[in-house]
Each structure stands twice: as structure tokens, then as C-alpha cells.
Amino acid sequence: MAIVAGESSAGAVQERRPPEGGRRDRLRLRRGDGPRRVPWVWILPGLVVAVAIQFYPVLSGSYYAFTSWSGIGPSHWVGLKNFSAIFSNSQALGPLVHTLELGFAFVIIANVLGLALAVGLGNALRTRNFLRALFFAPVVLTPLATSYIWAYIFQYTGPLNNVLSALGLGSLQQAWLGSPTWALWTILVVLVWQNAGLSMVIYLAGLQAIPSELDEAAAVDGASAAYRFRRVTLPMLMPAILINLTLTMIYALRVFDQILALTNGGPFGASDTLATAVWKQTFVNDNYGYGAALALLLTVMVLLIAAAQWGLVGWFNRRASA
Amino acid sequence: MTSWVRPGRTLAVAAVASASLVVGVGASAAKSKSSSNVHGSITVDALASSGNNLTPLQMEANAFMRRYKGLTVKVEGIPDQNYNAVLRTQLQGGGGPDVYLGSAGTGDNAAILTFAKAHLAADLSSQPWATKIAPNASGYYIGKKLYGLPMDFTPYGYIYNVADFKKWGVKPPTNLSQALKVCAAAKAHGGIGFAIAGAVPANTGVYAMEFAQADVYAKQPNWDTLRRHGKVKFATSKGWAQALNDFVKMNSAGCFEPGASGAGFDQLTQLLGSQQAGAVASPTFSIPTVESAAHLTLNVFGGFGSAGEGGALGNFSNAIAMNPHAKNAPLAEKFLAFLASGEGQHIYAAADGDPSFNQIKKGTIPAKLGISGIAKTLKQQTLAGSISWPPADWPNQAVYAALGTGVQGLMTGQTTVSAVLKSMDAAW
Amino acid sequence: MSYYRYTPRTLLRELVMVLIGLAWMVPIFLLLNVSIKPGGFEVYGSPFAVTSKPTLSNYSTAWQGSAVGSLGHGFVNSAIITSISVALLIAIGSLTAYTIARRGGRASRLLTGLFTFGLALPVQLGTIPLFAEMRKLGLVGTYSGMVIIYVGLLMPLTIFLYMGFLRSLPLDYEQAARVDGASPLRIFFRVVFPLLRPATGTVAILCGLIIWNDFFTPLIFLGGNSHATLPVVIYGFVAGLGTEWNIIFAAVAISVAPLVIFFIFAQRQLIRGYSGGIKA
């Protein structure tokens, strides 16, 4: 039986599952194995290194969000002024909207495409191993290298426009990375191309965990393929969906080196996201305090959306098992 | 082939107009110093930006180590897009190199005076070579204290393809209407008047500054001083509005390449190198590299606007500073003294494709630098103390960034001239 | 096994997938195609036309490296840092996750929450304090410093991935071992860790890729050229040569090749490993 990764954060998912023997045993074991229990001291190395390298530096760095620090020299406490500046400044709204647009579009497309590829490349295909490697290849490419390839493709004199004019669609030619309308979506294309393979592999593993007898039984009962997918495959796939949603969402909201390399957030901010705005404010514009406040805001957003995702998956699961 | 602009220098510096740069002092001064306490090694942070070529500071380090056996100068080349962030983080975190490449003034993330105010650049006033730098040179001094060693001089202007202009039957323009004629002539011959890297604020910013030089600074050289005192503003300056409107006119007249708003630096090289584009606004140090790579002859003309000629822009953008927490201060000082010497100054300027101060002043700029077109103006302005790169003296990098991205927005129609100028005031 | 029967519809599906796969490879084709073009302005010629004068000289130029360092040097640096960091992440992360998962109770829930929170933290805000900390410890400019940083930064992700898997791991084996009188340490190494293999595969790939491709951290903590990692060397080509896409792309091809070869050979394990806790 397939069970969830990341279910840690979505206990509800499992709560509603029909109790199984294994689970009862586990509970009993946890309560009652006395002196032979796993010693707490085992968590020390992991906890210490995470606190020393991540939690402590980030927390002490977060202090700057409440200062007017330029990024160098002494800093002055300003309380919540940076946060109120963010919310009162309509310019900060652009990156926020772009982050959400890019984030949602990426999560949906990467997952739908990843799932479609995984289903399409099921066990029956003779070329499946080759094709899987092919779709996975962009995942291992350095993000910067990916950006260079695509920057070349999207150049005004580049391959994409060449193809368009060869197809007689010359009127569609444009400066993709320099277009206020298209810049953000060219970035989306690059992100999807690079990451759909990762989603695919996680879905593949999830699909392989589904016992084929289940699907066959439903087929024998005369259920349509669409019905089987919705009522059998999808609910069984929830764990993989949850991992994928979490990983793609965190990735999409925080990605910035590809954006900097492709458009630098331009033209005129048309593809600036919160992550690129944080980079620019902290390291380019001498507004470290403001940038730090933006970064904290982004963190809150990531946590809220993650919680919403986990809640949604839990709700879906309960409905499916009802 | 070449990088058109390096952050450390794009937003560079101020007029060291009256600075009389040293020739030949440092090395002897360094020798006279007891060398018994100078030993070991230092690290130097520098840009890694010349492809397979050695960076100027690496060449300096090699020459230094050849001269002084047993001493080690380790140059860390850091890619330019991250240079400022890396340097800042290291210095702010209490570490960093012993000596580093910064830019003069305050208008850049690696500006030495900004570091100096944060006590991250050492006071160099008592160095043996320091007295050779005039006490009023802006961009290097706070009060009477000196915080950097100027290296080569970086002129800005329009780099143009001499053969193209000849073929099109045009001359370097001295005002906007002539420039528009250049564009029309280029089009008639299937070429492009001007190439612009619209996706790179550092390049769009140079265009804006060329117009500002003609429309603002040529008439009011002290405009920035007035701005610092709050007597004028970008948003209410007729000259600045004129400058950006001139740019808009160039843009709507089709002076730039198709798809310009998405173009990067590499397209500049491509368009100029393949003889499609006639001119590019840029610092001039890229000329020798492009010339030799593409086998053409380039020259430079100065800024223009609807008001007429603007002359040249330029500064000593490359400033070498010393970390006040240097682990090996004696060796760092010895290396600085070498850089200040005639040999050191010559190595740097030659490696960078820039003239040295003496060459400008004496009118002996080497022909291979390809800047004969502005040599005379350069000399006049330098002697009159009226040459500068204004963004270097602006209070932070955000102002120039607002200008650069603003120009981008003007190209795509996302913003207006007055909104760009307002955002510059806000960043100030 | 009607499930796997090869029907005409399967053939159709196969053809469609192959077509999509080919389209997916267009950027890679362009990369390879440009990487064998001689320099100069032919690089800007038709991107799809295969050059009449293919050359491998770009590869040897790329191999010699950029101003920042040689590719081979970058390789060695990246390989050392990545392999040691991943090994430590697996060792420490699995043990930590195992303890949290098996102890249960409020403390366990708190720790789970803490590490999950760590997934979302804005790491960049910690850069300056972290640099100061590492400098005081004398770890700046050292491989061990880099390894410690990566282990700390990726610990939350590692634990997130292990935790999910552990929750679904049946306790029967552990229980049996316990009945036999095995110590917790022995149980972990002999029983649990081997069972965690799929999660370990996930951690190795995800964390390995993040470290292998990281660009900013090594610049700050290792300095520029002397310890340049692979991405730093590759970036050196761009900063330096600007337009010489043929050499940049050759460098990219060289840097990616070992990873793609690794994936082709390790594919079956990886796809199983990628299950990230989904167990058949």
C-alpha cells in the first residue's frame, strides 16, 4: 500500500485512511518499548548543524528587516516601517503579482505535464527507458546553462524567430525576453522545460506503486479509462502529488537565478518576482532592510501556500476515500 | 569577445580632474622601505572578466612577484554579475581580501567611499604615493582622507564603425537631428544606426547619460552639486526631461535594432562586429578587442542632444582599495605602491584598453585605443576639470539603476519620462 | 497481464511520446550543434543548419578553462564538495529523521514543524551572519567549510524527504530485531537504513543536484578562482567571452555529460529511489 512522503506535515491525510494492521503495531511499539527506545541524542548532529548554519544566521539576518540598513555599515532600527512601505508602495505590487502568476502557472503546468508524461511513458512502451532519460536530462543541467541556451533561443535573431518566419508566421516575431507581455511567460517555458522531468519521475514512482490488479479489476467491472483514472489512479497517487506540489511550489516561489540570467527582471520590471526583488534590493539598490522585509514576506507566503496545498490534498483524499 | 561594461566600472567614478597622477614614484618608495617586515602573501579581489586573458590585476600581481621574489599576491577573479555582492558580504562579515578592486565615488555597490564610510576601506593618506594625488579629486577623498588608488581612465562615448559611416555618407553627429539623419541613411543601406542592449540597464543608462551630458551637464556642470543640496530635482529639470525625450525620439525614429528591448551585450558585439550597426554608446575600453576580433576600424564621437554637442564623459573608475582589517598590511601597502608606480599604472591601462591620465593630458593617447575622435575634447575637458561620469557621485547605485530600467521602460512604452525622473528622485 | 499488452493504441502512444521527446530535445540539439561550430559569426548563422566545418576545438578550449580556472579543476572541486556533503547529509539526516519519527510525542511534532519551517526560510538573509560565523571558525576558503554549509542548509530538505518515508515504513522488521535483542544502533544500521534506500536515492539526487549546480555560495565562501567549482568556471566563460556561445556551450556539454551518463546507468534505481517514500 502506498503511503505518503511529507505526510508528516499532513497528518490528516493518513488519519482518514482505513486503519491497517501495520499502523496499529506501530502505535503500540511507540508507546511501549521502554529503555530500548531510540535515544534522543541521535538528533543532535542534525539539529546542531541546521541551527548553526541555517536557523541562527537567518534569524539574526532577519533583524535587518526591521532596520533601514543599506547593506553596509551601521544599521538603525525602524520597526515595521519597511513592511508598511511594501504595502503602501504600488511598485512592490508588481513583483508580488508576478510571483503568484509564475508560481501558480508553474505548479499547474509542471505537474500536469509531469503526470501526463509519466502516464504516457508507462510500462507498455518499448522506448520507455530511453524516453524517460530524455525527459529527465534537462533536470541535471546547471540552471545557468539552461538559461544561456534559452536566452540564445529567444534572441531576436535566434532560433525561435527563425522558425516562426520559416513557417510564414513572421508577424509573430518579437523580442521575447524584452517584451512586457511575454517576458514572464518565456521564463515559465524555461522553468517547465527544466523541471517537468523531475515531476515525471516522482509520478512514475507513484504510478508503479499502484497495484495493477486494482486498475484491472475496475476495468473488468466495465469502468471507463477516465473513470478509472479519477477514482483509482488519482487517489492512489496522492502521496506523489503532495511531494510534487510542495517541491514545485517552493521552487517556483524562490527561483531567481534563471530570471536574472534571462531577463534580469525586465523589461522595466515586467518579470520581476519577489525573489529577484529581494536580490536587487539587498545587493544592488542599497536597500538591505527593505529587501529583508520582502524576503520575510515571501517566506510567509511560501508557508501559507504550502499549508493550503497540504490542506487541499487532505480534503481531496478524504473525499476520495469517502 | 568582450564585455561591454563591468559593474565595477559602469557606474564608476568622478572627476579626478585636477589629479596629477603619479609616474614613477611608488616603486622606488617601496624599495626604500625596509623589506624585512614584508613577507608572506596577500589576497586581492578582482573581476574575472577578460575571458582567457589575464585580468589587469593578475598581470600586476605577476609583475610584482617577478620583481619581489618570495612574496605572493593571490588574485581571486570573481565573475562581474556577483562581484559587488560577494565583496560586500565578505567585507561586512569581517573578512575579505587584503586589497580589492572598487570603483570611485559612492554611486556603485563597490564604491570605495561607501566602503570607507562603513570603515571597510583603509585610510591611504599617509602612503608615500598619496601626496601625488591632488587633494581635491572627488571620488577618492572624504575630507582630506584618501581611500583609493586610481588606476586607468575610462572614457565614454559613441563607438562607431568608420567604414559604415563612410559607406552611408554620414559624419559623426553633433546634434539630435544629425543623428536622426545617420539612422535614416543607415536604414537606406539596410543597416542599423545605433545598437543598444535594451535588456541591460548598464547600457541603456550610458545612452541616457550621453544625452544628459549634452542637455544637462554641458550647460550646468555643477548640476549634481545643486541636486545634492536639494536645489534642483530630476523631476523638475528641463534638461533631464529633454535628455530622455531625445532618447525617445531616437527610439521612435527607428534608430535601434529590431527587438532592441530584449538585446543583451552579446548582440552589441554581434551587430557592431558584423558591420550591421553603425554605433554603440559604451565605455571605450572594448574597442581594441572588438577591432581585432572583427577586423574593423572603430573610432569614437562624443555625446549629442537636441541642444548640440555634449563632449566626453569619463573618470578613473577603477579604484584600488585596501581592507583596514588586512591580514598582511605591510605587503598590501607594498603592492599598492607598486600599482602606483609608473610601471604599475602602465600595465593596468595597457591591459584594460584605456588611456592613462598622463597620456590624456599630454595628448599622447596610443592610436590602437581607437579614441582619437574624442582625444581633443578629452584633453580640453580634463584640463578644465569638466570631465566626469556623474552617476559615480550619486549617493547610491539605485539612482542609476532607476535611470537604466526607466530607459528600458521608455523603449517598451511601459513608463513615461516624468515617471522615470520621479523614480530617480525617490532613489536619491 | 492485459495491462502490458502492446496494442495498436500503444503504438500510437509510443509514436506521440517519441515526437514529444524529440521536441523536448531541441534545446539540447541546439546546444550540441552550436558547440561544434567554428568561431566567428557562423555561430549566428542558421541555428538548425549543421555546420560544414564541425570542430571539436571548442571542447579543448573549454577544457582549458576560463580566466576563473580550468574545467578539470572545477570538476574535482565540485566532485569533492558534492560527494562528501551528500554522504554526510544521508548519514546525519537519516538518523535524525529516524529518531524524530520513532520517538513520537510533542517534541517530535515540534521538531518536524521546525524542519519543515526550515524548507521555507529565506536563506539569503543568513549569508552575512553565516560568513562572519564561518570566518571566526576559520572555515572560510576551505572545503570543510563548504561541506558544513551545505549539510546545514540542506538538512531540512533531507529530513523532510526521510520523514515521509519513515512514517510509511512498517515496523515489523524493527520489532523482530528488537525481540532478538539488537541495540537501537544496530537496528538502525542493519535493518532500517537498508530499507530507507529509496529515500536515500531521492536525497542523493535532489541534494546532489542543488550542491553541484550552486553558484553563489562557493563564490562567497571559497573565493574566486583558487577553488572554483564547476558552475563558477562556466560562468567565467560568459563574463569573459561574452558572445562565444560555441565555447560556452561546449563547456556546458562537458559539464553535463557525466551527470547524463550517470542517469542513464542509474535510471532504474533512481526512479525507484525517487519515490521519496512511496513504496510498492
Report the distance separating Cα B6 and Cα B353, nearest Å: 13
Contact B5/A at CB under 8 A: no
pLDDT in tens, B173-222: 999 999 999 999 999 999 999 999 998 898 999 999 999 999 999 888 89
Buried (b) or exposed (e) across A4-23, using 16+ Cβ within 10 A?
bbbbbbbeebbeeeeeeeeb
Q: Smallest CA–CA separation between B401 and chain A, in Å?
A: 8
Q: From 3.30.930.10, 3.40.50.300, 2.40.50.140, 3.40.190.10, which CATH number describes the B156-314+387-427 domain?
A: 3.40.190.10
Q: Give the number of beta-carbon pairs within 8 Å between A and B.
A: 109
Contact indicator for B114, B13 with CB cutoff of 8 Å? no
Contact B264/A at CB under 8 A: yes
Q: How far apart are the first and last CA of chain C?
A: 18
Q: Is residue C117 part of a domain?
A: yes
Closest CB from B91, B119, B405 relative to A266: B405
Q: Is residue C267 part of a domain?
A: no
Q: Is residue C231 part of a domain?
A: no
Which residue do the cell numbers 549634481 mark?
A: B224
CATH T-level assignment (fold) for domain A73-321: MetI-like fold (1.10.3720)
At residue B146, φ and ψ (nearest 5 deg) are -100, 135
Report the distance separating Cα A254 and Cα C123, nearest Å: 10
Contact indicator for C41, B274 with CB cutoff of 8 Å? yes
| A-chain residues near C159 (CB < 8 A) | 46
Which residue do the cell numbers 520489532 mark?
A: C175
10 Å CB burial of residue B80 (0-12, 13-18, 19+) is: buried
Question: Among A249, A188, B399, A4, which Cα is nearest to C278's?
Answer: A4
Q: Inspect the interface and report whether the beta carbons of C241 and B51 lie closer than 8 Å.
A: yes
Report the distance separating Cα A219 and Cα A224, nearest Å: 7
3-class DSSP state of C69 = strand
pLDDT in tens, B402-420: 999 999 999 999 999 999 9
Q: Is residue C126 part of a domain?
A: yes
Report the distance separating Cα B150 and Cα B142, nearest Å: 15
pLDDT reported for residue B292: 76
pLDDT reported for residue A59: 92
Which chains form contacts with chain A, at 3 or more CB pairs under 8 Å? Answer: B, C
Mean pLDDT of C151-175: 85
Contacts of C12 (CB under 8 A, 6+ apart): none
What is the 3 state secondary structure string of chain B? Answer: CCCCCCHHHHCCCCCCCCCCCCCCCHHHHHHHCCHHHCCCEEEEEEECCCCCCCCHHHHHHHHHHHHCCCCEEEEEEECHHHHHHHHHHHHHCCCCCCEEEEECCCCCCCEHHHHHHCCCCCCCCCCCCHHHCCCCCCCCEECCEECCEECCCEEEEEEEEHHHHHHHCCCCCCCHHHHHHHHHHHHHCCCEEEECCCCCHHHHHHHHHHHHHHHHHCCCCCHHHHHHCCCCCCCCCHHHHHHHHHHHHHHHCCCCCCCHHHCCHHHHHHHHHCCCEEEEEEEHHHHHHHHHHHCCCEEEECEEECCEEEECEEECCEEEEECCCCCCHHHHHHHHHHHHCHHHHHHHHHHHCCCCHHHHHHCCCCHHHCCHHHHHHHHHHHHHCCCCCHHHHCCCHHHHHHHHHHHHHHHHCCCCHHHHHHHHHHHC
pLDDT reported for residue B226: 94
| B-chain residues near A263 (CB < 8 A) | 199, 262
Distances in Å between the Cα of B307 and the Cα atoms of B142, B221, B377, B387, C8 are 35, 15, 17, 18, 75
Sign of the dihedral defined by the CA atoms of residues C215, C227, B321, B20, in that order: negative
Contact A52/C at CB under 8 A: yes
Contact indicator for A102, A91 with CB cutoff of 8 Å? no
C-alpha dihedral (B391, B395, B396, B399), degrees to nearest 10: -60
Distances in Å between the Cα of C204 and the Cα atoms of A197, C167, C208 are 17, 20, 5
Buried (b) or exposed (e) across B406-428, using 16+ Cβ within 10 A?
bbbbbbbebbebeebbbbbeebb
| B-chain residues near C135 (CB < 8 A) | 93-95
Q: Is residue C230 part of a domain?
A: no
Would you mind telling me the total number of residues written for chain C in this entry? Answer: 280
Average pLDDT, chain B: 84
In this structure, what DSSP letter does residue C243 have? T
CATH of domain B7-153+316-354: 3.40.190.10
- Provide, for chain C, the percentages of residues in helix, strand and coil under a 3-state DSSP scheme, each rounded to the nearest 5: 80, 0, 20
Mean pLDDT of C10-16: 88
Which residue do the cell numbers 523536448 mark?
A: C24
Confidence of residue C47 (pLDDT cuts 50, 70, 90): low
10 Å CB burial of residue B362 (0-12, 13-18, 19+) is: exposed
pLDDT in tens, B8-47: 333 222 222 233 333 333 333 334 344 457 778 888 887 7
Q: Smallest CA–CA separation between C255 and chain A, in Å?
A: 8
pLDDT in tens, B116-157: 999 999 999 999 888 876 545 678 999 889 999 988 888 999
Inform me whether the pLDDT recorded for B70 exceeds 60.
Answer: yes
Contact indicator for A168, A103 with CB cutoff of 8 Å? no
Q: Inspect the interface and report whether the beta carbons of C178 and A129 lie closer than 8 Å.
A: no
**Three cell numbers written together for B276:** 550591421
Task: Decide which of B316 and A112 is more confident.
Answer: A112
Report the distance separating Cα B260 and Cα B275, nearest Å: 17
Question: Among B85, B120, B137, B76, which Cα is nearest to B316's?
Answer: B137
Q: Is residue C106 part of a domain?
A: yes
Q: Which residues are paired to B160 by β-bridges?
A: B279, B299
pLDDT in tens, C198-254: 778 778 888 988 898 888 888 888 876 667 888 888 877 765 445 577 888 888 888
Which residue do the cell numbers 522558425 mark?
A: A163
Distances in Å between the Cα of C119 and the Cα atoms of A10, C104, C114, C136, C153 are 15, 21, 9, 27, 9
Q: Which residues are paired to A77 by β-bridges?
A: A67
pLDDT reported for residue C71: 85
Report the distance separating Cα B293 and Cα B353, nearest Å: 14
pLDDT reported for residue B359: 80
**Percentage of chain B surpassing pLDDT 90?**
48
CATH code, domain carrying C175: 1.10.3720.10
Q: Is residue C31 part of a domain?
A: no
Mean pLDDT of B247-259: 94
Type of residue found at B251: N
Q: Smallest CA–CA separation between C125 and chain B, in Å?
A: 11
Which chains form contacts with chain C, at 3 or more CB pairs under 8 Å? Answer: A, B
Nearest CA in chain B to C218: B86
The domain in which residue C193 lies consists of: 75-217
Contact indicator for C100, C108 with CB cutoff of 8 Å? yes
Q: What are the average pLDDT values for consecutive 10-residue runs of chain A, which has 322 residues?
A: 33 37 43 61 93 94 91 88 85 86 95 93 80 87 85 87 87 89 95 93 79 78 83 80 85 87 88 90 85 91 87 76 62
**Percentage of chain C surpassing pLDDT 90?**
24
For chain B, residues classed under CATH 3.40.190.10 are 7-153+316-354, 156-314+387-427
Q: What is the DSSP string of C88-142?
A: HHHHHHHHHHHHHHHH-HHHHHHHHHHHHHHHHS-GGGGHHHHHHHHHHTT-TTS
Report the distance separating Cα C16 and Cα C28, nearest Å: 20
3-class DSSP state of C278 = coil
Label the pairing between strands B99-103 and B41-47: parallel
Among B78, B87, B200, B327, the strongest candidate for a mutation testing the C interface, having the largest count of C CBs within 10 A, is B78
Nearest CA in chain A to B398: A285
Closest CB from C135, C215, C236 relative to B48: C236
pLDDT reported for residue C269: 65
Question: Among A299, A321, A302, which Cα is nearest to A310's?
Answer: A302
Which chains form contacts with chain B, at 3 or more CB pairs under 8 Å? Answer: A, C
Q: How far apart are the first and last CA of chain B?
A: 35
| Domain definitions of chain A by residue range | 73-321
Contacts of A242 (CB under 8 A, 6+ apart): A4, A5, A6, A7, A10, A13, A309, A310, A313
10 Å CB burial of residue B24 (0-12, 13-18, 19+) is: middle
- Provide the number of structural domains found in chain C: 1
Closest CB from B84, B91, B199 relative to A178: B199
Ramachandran region of residue B101, left (φ > 0), alpha (ψ -120 to 50) or beta?
beta
Type of residue found at B168: W
Type of residue found at B285: F
Half-sphere exposure of B44 (CA within 13 A, CB side): 28
pLDDT reported for residue A237: 82
Q: Is residue C95 part of a domain?
A: yes
**Three cell numbers written together for A145:** 546553462
Mean pLDDT of C10-30: 90
pLDDT in tens, B335-391: 999 999 888 988 888 888 888 877 887 788 888 888 888 888 888 888 887 888 999
Label the pairing between strands B149-150 and B145-146: unpaired
pLDDT reported for residue A314: 77
Q: How far apart are the first and last CA of chain A?
A: 18
Q: Smallest CA–CA separation between B78 and chain C, in Å?
A: 5
pLDDT reported for residue B25: 36
| C-chain residues near A54 (CB < 8 A) | 118, 121, 123, 126, 152-153, 155-156
